[in-house]
Homo-oligomer: A and B are copies of this chain.
Amino acid sequence: MEEAAALLKQKGLKVTPQRLAILNLLRNTKEHPTAETIYKKLASDFPTMSLATVYKTLEVLKNIGLIQELNVGEGSFRYDANTNSHPHLVCLGCGKVEDLDESVLQNLIEEVKKHTDYKLVEQKLYFYGYCPACQKKLSN
């Protein structure tokens, strides 16, 4: 059995088609979609699924650590199957959200540790700027 299904069972949660579909969608995209986006993308395969189910499922998946919730500052959350709390790069031109390397993160954390007494647990890091394509558009 797949580990996601196994993990759900182990927590006393049921393995439903909706849960697997949402998790797979997140695992197969680099887009960091919102609940609404996920709902629309799955509408053709699951015409009867409600938005409430998407939210409830995202909550469950988040709680068992299979996905993470991102807050880029847009008024709605985005979701990511990469659960490392890695830094994100948000393009102010086209709105896309990319990932930065785990190795970069380690260097950032080291720098912060030098300057604080806090015991660091996690972080949410968003860098905003213009991607190469949008830079080109702007200079035209």
Contact = CB atoms under 8 A, between A and B. Distances in A.
Interface in A18-47: none
Nearest to A91: B118
Size band of the interface chain A makes with B = 35 or more
Contacts of A114: 104
Contacts of A132: 117-118
A104 B108 CA distance: 10
Contacts of A126: 123-125
B124 A118 contact: no
Nearest to A123: B127
Interface in A95-130: 100-101, 104, 107-109, 111-112, 114-130
B117 A131 contact: yes
Contacts of A73: 69, 71, 124
B115 A120 contact: no
A41 to B, nearest CB: 24
A128 to B, nearest CB: 5
Contacts of A115: 100-101, 104
A69 B132 CA distance: 27
A8 interface: no
